[in-house]
Structure 1
Amino acid sequence: MKKKSVIIGILLSLMIAVSFGIYSHISSQEGFTFKTKGVVKGDIARTISATGTVNPVTVVNVGAQVSGKVWRLFADFNAVVKKGDIVAEIDPELFKRDVEEGEARLESARANLRAASENVSLAESRVKSAEANLEKVKASLTYSQREYERYVDLFKKELVSASERDQKESDYKQTLAQIESATAEIDAQKANLSAQRANFQAVISQVKSAEASLNRAKTNLNYTIIRSPVEGIVVSREVDEGQTLTARMQTPVLFKIAEDLTKMQANASIDEADIGCIKAGQKALFTVDAFPYTTFEGVVKQVRIAPIIVQNVVTYDVIIEVENRELKLKPGMTANVTVMVDHESNVIKIPNEALRFAPPGNLKIDKKAGRRLKGKHSRLVWRMDKGGNLEPVPIRTGITDGEYSQLVRGSIREGNELVVQALDKSGKPIVSKKAGSSLRDGPPLKVRFRGFRP
């Protein structure tokens, strides 16, 4: 029990020693002066910088769908056009001839269609006539058959002569032959009707083909008049009057029209190391060389996943939307973009210069205090205590904007002055090494350590 009490007392003593700090006394140096910078409170943002190009949100390439010589141009650079306005015209003469030829072919096909229709009607009437003749012959056959049978009976009763019986038999057989002939005629007329109907369908196809050719010719004629598909401003004219266009392999571009220059976008190239921090909806700021003192605000609209590889350097295209109501931004301007990826409000801000500072001279740190100072995520800054001695303070930092870092934890308050540089007697800066590394030989400094729980 006594041994247990002794162990507990030792542990409590160690905790008290760590909590209240360990002092390492070395004689103070004379002649050193220190430059300090104040700790401030405010907003801090982590940003990513990149360059990009200002572009209209929508640029429409107006092209020609037919080949020919540019006859007239009705729009030029910076021209304001409305949807449906005529912007150019291609020489229409060849296309007019095509329309006339198509009309003639269609008229000829329609004439053939009328003739084919008449032939079908004639074939149908012939079929009907043959069918009527067959019915007539069938009626005669019935009569001839009855007469022949009657005369056979009369001949058996010796009421008529053999010649009269043979005459009726001949009439009956002749009527049978007429039946066969009438049936063959019907078949022939029906075959002719089928042929005429097939010819009629073929002529209908010819008419449809002629109509399609005429419509194509008229469409091509209409294509010689080029209209603006959108309302906007002409930002580029690619052709001149008299220039010949060939639209067979690739559609030639005549104009580039920006649909709305009051809404622009900046295409920023973000390095692959930073792209993971960029998300849609983040705030972005940028400047252009034409207005170096004007900051334009935008919002990240899209992070495109397609990589852009130039000389083994991988970047990604990030689209930033921006309002351009004053029309200051022009297509093609170079944008110096800053994207805000993280932001904290009303926090203590530590100067980054203080984080880089390490005092000159030999600095002997007690091992236990050193372990406390080297806690996880902790960093070291220096300030002057009331006695004029350097005092190291371990802190934990958060986001940084390059000039200041957010204080997450540590005994630093707004208004504290942190040492950022050591000066010699002549006022020249003394280059020091990072804290924790072996410092150059020099006069010792009096240093006081405070405990910090990381």
Structure 2
Amino acid sequence: MIIVLIIAAAAVLFKANFIVKKVDVIKAVSMPLKETVFGVGYVGAEVISDVAAQVSGKIERTPLAEGAEVKSGEVLVIIDAAEFNNALDSAKVNLQKAEAQLESIKTNISLIGENMAIARSNMEKSAAVMEFNRKETARYKSLLDSNQIAPKIYDEKQMAYTVSAGENSNASVALKILAIEKEKQAVSEKLAASDIENAKISIKQAALKCEYSSIRAPFDGVIVKRFAEEGMVINSGSPVMRVVKKGSYWVSSYIDISQMQNIRAGLSAEIILNRQPGAKYIGKVYRIEQEGDKITEELKVDILFDSNIQNLYLDEKAEVHIETSGRTALAIPSSCVAAAADGRKGVFTLEGSKTVFKKIEFGIMDRSGFIEVVNGLAGGESIVRFDEMHKLRENETVAVKKEGL
């Protein structure tokens, strides 16, 4: 029994050592290659606006849902404007009253001016009469003193002077009263003009509140969050919607500092969202932070989407592949790379049915799975690919299962 087991084990060992491996054979080809740097990050945006109410009131309507695209100036929220409309109507009535009052005052000032002209003329006339009577009284006084006239005649002249002096005084007082009234009316005119300006200010303020009752989008964008709903009472300054500007979405990715030497603004990048692993979006390096994280030794690199992407979510996870260099070169699938016993990297070529190890100097690795051959191959060689490359040995006999990629 023991002898049988030994013979069976020897047979298995013999078969394992001498079984011919079936391999694929491919050719190195010249192809465009792109070297990329990998990073992980989260979706954000350059321009995010928490649109806030500019007046207090009750929300009457919120016509748009989260995820809706909006145009600049489009209505996001409508606040009940009845109070503001009433205030506007009242301010307009006050303006009409103030304008009518000002017009009345101007009419009064004009009439006072006319009356002052008449009073001034009367005063000048009475002054002339008074002066004439004064001179006459003085002349008649001399005649009285020389007994050339009777006292009665002198008394008549003196009475005439006294009357004319009284009339002149009355005319002067009337002119002063009119001047005082004109000054009062001038003050009233200024107050009425001020009332008009205040009414106009009230109209502007009320009109603004009416305008502010319709809260509008500040730019073309997407609503990503609603803070307010119909029926809510909000205060001025309270946010109602969060809007992301169209075309400003980016991924804030984190790149190992050791890989940053070739990264610069403007480089193309491929973006893959975690929830859409099969979709690839194109972007560009937009901004590179100049201060790294001391613990993770990473720098933040913002990748801006090239086009307006639909249905993005802020803070969703994404990976980025930044293209740092590219060229057309001889390349092979990275699955063909093997290691010799001494650690040298290379490939196995097929000569006849035997494997021959060739040391290769490799260059950039493309995300498609191809690696650049810098030195070691001329092109046209038959290169071996096997599922378990580490088990291949030099000068090993193999069978070709498939040729080509």
Q: TM-score, normalised by structure 2?
A: 0.65
Counterparts in 2 of 1:25-64, with a 5 A limit? 41-54=30-43, 61-64=50-53
The CA deviation at 1:384 is 8.8
1:107-186 matches, cutoff 5 A: 109-110=98-99, 112-141=101-130, 143-144=132-133, 147=136, 151=139, 155=143, 160-161=148-149, 163=151, 182-183=171-172, 185-186=174-175
Deviations along 1:278-314, whole A, 9 cap, x unmatched? 33432211222343233222334x2155869697766
The equivalent of 1:365 in structure 2 is none
Equivalent residue for 1:217? Answer: 206
Q: Is 2:384 aligned against 1:413?
A: no
Residue number in structure 1 paired with 2:14: none
The CA deviation string for residues 296-339 of structure 1, in whole angstroms up to 9 with x for no partner, is 22334x215586969776643424233368x5x53345332111
The CA deviation string for residues 147-184 of structure 1, in whole angstroms up to 9 with x for no partner, is: 467x3798499795385678657766875676566556
Letter in 2 for 1:216: Q
Larger CA deviation: 176-185 vs 123-132: 176-185
- Matched-pair contact (CA < 8 Å) for 1:266–1:321: yes
| Cα distance in 2, alignment partners of residues 111 and 244 from structure 1 | 39
Answer yes or no: is 1:95 the counterpart of 2:78: no
| Corresponding residue of 2:61 | 72
Q: Is the 8 A contact 1:148 1:165 kept in 2?
A: yes
- SS of alignment partner, residue 280 of structure 2: strand
Tell me the residue number matched to 1:337: 320
Equivalents in 2 of 1:270, 1:316: separation in Å?
Answer: 5
Counterpart in 2 of 1:266?
250
Q: Does the CA contact (< 8 Å) of 1:381 and 1:419 recur in 2?
A: no
Whether the 8 Å CA contact 2:267–2:324 is kept in 1: the answer is: yes
1:202 maps to: 191
**Aligned AA (2:317):** T
Alpha-carbon deviation of 1:269? 1.9
Question: Structure 2: which amino acid aligns with 1:48?
Answer: V
Q: Distance in 1 between matches of 2:223 and 2:356?
A: 70
* Contact 2:264–2:288 (Cα < 8 Å) also in 1: no
Tell me by how many angstroms 1:197 deviates.
0.7
Partners of 1:117 and 1:168 in 2: CA distance = 45
Residue number in structure 1 paired with 2:15? none
Give the secondary-structure state (helix, strand or coil) at the position aligned to 2:277. strand
Q: Which amino acid aligns with 1:344?
A: R
Higher mean alpha-carbon deviation, 185-194 vs 77-86, is at 77-86
Show structure 2 runs of 5+ residues with no match.
1-22, 394-405
SS of 1:277's equivalent in the other structure is: coil
For structure 1, list consecutive stretches of 5 or more residues without a partner in the other structure: 1-34, 362-379, 430-454
What secondary structure, in the 3-state scheme, does the structure 1 residue paired with 2:378 have?
coil
Return closer, same or farther for 1:319/1:139 CA change in 2, 3 Å cut-off.
farther
Relative to structure 1, the CA distance from residue 51 to residue 78 in structure 2 (aligned partners, 3 Å threshold; closer, same or farther) is same
Number of residue pairs aligned between Structure 1 and Structure 2: 364
Deviates more, 1:399-408 or 1:123-132: 399-408
| Identity within the alignment, % | 21
CA distance in 2: counterparts of 1:198 and 1:309, whole angstroms: 71
1:42-63 Cα shifts (integer Å, max 9, x gaps): 3332212223445678766554
Q: CA deviation at 1:342?
A: 1.5
2-structure distance, mates of 1:233, 1:317: 24
Aligned residues: CA RMSD = 5.2
CA contact (8 A) 2:55 2:212 kept: yes
Residue 252 (structure 1) aligned to one of 239, 242, 261: 239
Give the distance between the partners of 2:381 and 2:150, measured in 1 at CA: 154
Inter-partner Cα distance in structure 2 for 1:294 and 1:90:
41
How has the CA–CA distance of structure 1 residues 381 and 74 changed in structure 2, closer, same or farther, with 3 Å as cutoff?
Answer: closer
